[in-house]
Amino acid sequence: MGKFIFFKQLESADCGATCLKMIAQFYNRKIDIRYLRDIAYTNKNGVTLSSLINAADTIGFETLPAQITFDQLCNQVPLPAILHWKNTHYVVAYKSEKKKNKQFIHIADPAYGKLKLQQNEMESLWNVDHEKNGIALLFEPNDNFNPNIDSEVKKIKFSYFLQYLKPVYGKLALIFTLILLIASFNFLYPYINQQLVDRGVKDKSVYFIIYFLSAQFITYTSSMIMEFVQGWMFLTVKIRFGLKLVNDFLIKLMKMPLSFFENKLSSDILLRIADHEKIENFFSQNTMQFIISVLSFLIFSIVLIQYSHYIFLVFFTGSIISVLWVLWFHKARKFLNYKKFELESLNRNILYEVVNGISDIKINNFEVKKVKEWRNVQDELVEVNRKNLKLSNTQEFGINYLTQIKNTIILGLAAFMVIEDSITLGTMLAISFIIGQLNAPLEHFVLFIYSLQDAKISLERLIDVYEKKDEEDISGDSNNEISADGDIIFKNVSFGYQNPNEYKIFENLNLTLKSNSTTAIVGTSGSGKTTLIKLLMKFYEPFSGQVFLNDRSIEKFNFNKWREKISVVFQDGYIFSDTVKGNIVMGQDYEEKKFNHIISQTNLDELIDILPQNAETKIGENGLGLSKGQQQRILIARAMYKNPEILILDEATSALDSVNEKIIHHNLQNFFKGKTVIIIAHRLSTVKNADQILVLKQGTVVEVGNHQQLVDNKKEYYTLVKNQLELDS
């Protein structure tokens, strides 16, 4: 066992895997977070406790889930242990201690940091029941645990991003040269000021005053011109670096498999764009400022030491005390920041619910309750902010006070040294100037450390994208042509969204989707209809079994070649912030005759005629301003324009009125000819004309046949549709 090391979670769903990483590290085994995500089957909803247990077993831990009290956690169980936190989160309890008859537990929250909590604070966050028991997962290495096995994979480093600076190496060299020149000019300021007083003012020499003022003016002007040129060149480098960085990332993102996006929250993916901005700032602005600060600090420290060792020692000692003061308050504010983080998150959730659920709030006269709920959170936030402000003011007062004491002591020392003729009055003025110049770099050093920490976390998040294989690398040969003219066969397919040892959507599923015919798939919600389509689209790979087309496993198919053959209309398909035409054509060559025919077939001509610019009218993001039915017709038109060999309609007409649905279904019958069509729907009118109907129940095909055959059987299909048909029992 070693020292407990904290790791911050990289994504919102990573808390379970990150807690497991911290515990493995405590027992001296380094394990890559991506490996832990995989073995714990982490998805956008996080990870279950049973999946954590299975993952722990995989890396060599015996685990024991238990319900225990705060006292038992502190005194009776082995630590570290994972705790179920706030109903939706995991943290690590890694140490207990007793001070002044008070029991404390040390918590590592992967979303925030380390905390030290008393019992009442702990129980407000831990999921304790009426008997004060909370859920904990206890760990102990078993015989299979080997700390010498290092599961950390080779990672990209900051040096990876240096390739983006190669095209501007020349400009960077010139910028660095200008920085050195500016630093050299800054080196002259204290000497010029000293000579101005000692030789000009003291000797009452107008000549020397004008001479040194002119020297100061020339030095200052030259320095300002060089700073302007350096700033302009630096801005050019920063823009080119940032643009290339984000451009390459978006290209890489577009090459990722669809399963990557299925398992990530949109906020986590967008966060990676912001991560590039942090890395860009680190390499450009923060690093450059750090270099300038280091040079300034070194130069002025050398000058100050030359003037007086004692004054430099006073400055250095005072600066150390100031830093320690800041660190002490940082530690004191940690719990308050944690509480604020939680309350702000809760506040955002309440406001999100109010904005998105306003119609239901008004219908149910729920306004007063929601406002009261929000106000309670605001009251707590005000109290936390008050305490935070009090600490901030105390910290700032202390820093300013310590700085003034330090400056006063230095000024007093310098004054006594002038009286004793150890230094001149000009030297005293130069020392005052140097002290002012030395205070600024200290602030930049602290900012650089924070920037470095942020950049490291951002780099960890970006590794997940940059080191993941592209679709082309994991798909089949793009030179192999795919013929979609054949039956699609699911053979012994097993799949689930969680651990294979847990609940499975499908287990040994076998079914056939006949070529050049229409197959409807029906079943209750949760029976696996949409999951079936996602497997067919290669969003996911089955746990076991295979999907075949023409006796060829689709696992071997190239992603792009396979998608050329397929169009899918999901009920929640996306409408882009583009024209109606752009949303239908989707980057393909525009053919006016084909476009107009499809508009007529999907009954969109009336909608287009009333739009101000007809098909060239731009519609809002996600179909803003259009009804759900109009959006679905555009999505159907998009699929028809592609003219695929395999067409999949997943509740594609669920939002259409009966008139439009009847017209479009009639028109689609001609479009279906010569195609393999798969329809998922609940409405009888959508599926009754299918050549084959598959009835799914709990991930198993329980009936196969056409509409009339299945009605005559009076089994599952009959039960599903009898209310729509108003059949006799």
Where is pLDDT greater, at 180 or 78? 78
Where is pLDDT greater, at 571 or 566? 566
Query: Does one domain contain both 521 and 635?
Result: yes
Domain limit, last residue, from 141, 174, 196: 141
Task: Establish if 49 belongs to a structural domain.
Answer: yes
Q: At what angle do helices 287-307 and 425-466 cross, to 10 degrees?
A: 150
Query: Does one domain contain both 628 and 553?
Result: yes
Query: Does one domain contain both 457 and 343?
Result: no
Domain limit, last residue, from 114, 141, 168: 141
Say yes or no to pLDDT of 573 above 50. Answer: yes
pLDDT digits (tens, 9 = 90+) for 47-98: 888 889 989 998 889 999 999 998 898 889 999 999 998 888 899 999 998 8
Say yes or no to pLDDT of 159 above 70. Answer: no
Give the span between the Cα atoms of 427 and 652, in whole angstroms.
83
Domain limit, last residue, from 108, 141, 174: 141
Say yes or no to pLDDT of 148 above 80. Answer: no
Give the span between the Cα atoms of 710 and 703, in whole angstroms.
8
CATH number at residue 103: 3.90.70.10
Give the span between the Cα atoms of 7 and 16, in whole angstroms.
12
Give the span between the Cα atoms of 521 and 511, in whole angstroms.
11
Give the span between the Cα atoms of 66 and 394, in whole angstroms.
44
pLDDT score of 138 = 93
pLDDT digits (tens, 9 = 90+) for 261-307: 777 766 667 777 777 777 777 777 777 778 878 888 888 888 888 88
CB contact at 8 A, 127 and 87: yes
CATH number at residue 464: 1.20.1560.10
Task: Establish if 729 belongs to a structural domain.
Answer: no
pLDDT digits (tens, 9 = 90+) for 201-247: 877 888 888 887 888 888 888 888 888 887 788 788 777 777 787 78
Task: Establish if 397 belongs to a structural domain.
Answer: yes
Query: Does one domain contain both 189 and 262?
Result: yes
Give the span between the Cα atoms of 453 and 445, in whole angstroms.
13
Asked which of 8-12, 298-302, 471-475, 608-612 is least confident by mean pLDDT, the reply is 471-475
> How many independent structural domains does the chain possess?
4
Task: Establish if 386 belongs to a structural domain.
Answer: yes
For residue 164, give the DSSP letter.
Answer: G
Query: Does one domain contain both 257 and 335?
Result: no
Question: Rounded mean pLDDT of 311-336?
Answer: 76
Beta bridge mates, 489? 512, 548
Where is pLDDT greater, at 453 or 120? 120
Task: Establish if 314 belongs to a structural domain.
Answer: yes
pTM of the predicted structure, to 2 decimals? 0.68
Residues 6+ apart with CB under 8 A from 116: 104, 105, 106, 107, 335
Query: Does one domain contain both 173 and 299?
Result: yes
Task: Establish if 712 belongs to a structural domain.
Answer: no
Query: Does one domain contain both 416 and 342?
Result: yes
Task: Establish if 707 belongs to a structural domain.
Answer: no
Burial of 334 (0-12, 13-18, 19+ CB in 10 A): middle
For residue 264, give the DSSP letter.
Answer: S
Query: Does one domain contain both 495 and 596?
Result: yes
Query: Does one domain contain both 551 and 687?
Result: yes
Which two structure tokens, joined as six digits, stand for 671?
């479009």
Query: Does one domain contain both 211 and 283?
Result: yes
Task: Establish if 506 belongs to a structural domain.
Answer: yes
- Look up the domain containing 605 and give its range: 488-698
CATH number at residue 599: 3.40.50.300
pLDDT score of 647 = 92
Query: Does one domain contain both 163 and 108?
Result: no
Query: Does one domain contain both 320 and 290?
Result: no
Give the span between the Cα atoms of 212 and 196, in whole angstroms.
6
Tell me which residue of 55, 280, 30, 56 sits closest to 155, measured CA to CA: 30
Where is pLDDT greater, at 724 or 245? 245
Maximum Cα–Cα distance across the chain: 119
